[in-house]
Amino acid sequence: MQSSLCLFFKTNNGSIVVKQTCQISLAFLLLVSCLYSAKFIVALFDLTIPSPLLAMLIFIGLLYFNVIQPTRIAPVAIPTLKYMALFFVPAGVGILQYTALLAQNSYLLLCVLIIVPTVGLICVGYIASQGTHRD
């Protein structure tokens, strides 16, 4: 008899079949454990970084060092990525709640959205042009 974390059940023909829900549960547990470990680290060290961002960094580190295999996360990651647009709906509703504030500060927002990237590109272009003459 095999021992495993997964649950087994017998079908009518007597063969043992592993439930796919166990794989999904384990993958979900890995993702949630990354999130709650990040929340614990942020609370413990009183960090200003958002815990979901730290959770993503932990998760990427675990994937990079092959602690977690991507095939184990696939049962949860693939459906989540398929419906990723649904996660942006609350953000859009939140923006719509503050339309008066956005309209009040529209001039400042437009200046920041246009001037900051323009100044950044000019600085990068100037630095890059200075580097080409040294070759």
Same domain? 56 vs 9? yes
Note down the domain range covering 36: 1-82
Same domain? 11 vs 77? yes
Structural domains counted in the chain: 2
* 42-90: pLDDT as tens digits: 999 999 888 889 999 999 999 999 999 998 888 888 888 888 777 777 7
pLDDT at residue number 15: 41
* 91-134: pLDDT as tens digits: 777 788 888 888 999 999 999 999 999 999 999 999 888 876 55
Q: Is the pLDDT of residue 13 over 60?
A: no
Q: Measured between alpha carbons, how far is 24 from 28 in angstroms, rounded to an integer?
A: 6
Same domain? 105 vs 123? yes
Give Cβ neighbours of residue 24 (< 8 Å, ≥ 6 apart): 75, 76
Q: Last residue of a domain, which of 82, 110, 126?
A: 82
More confident residue, 9 or 20: 20
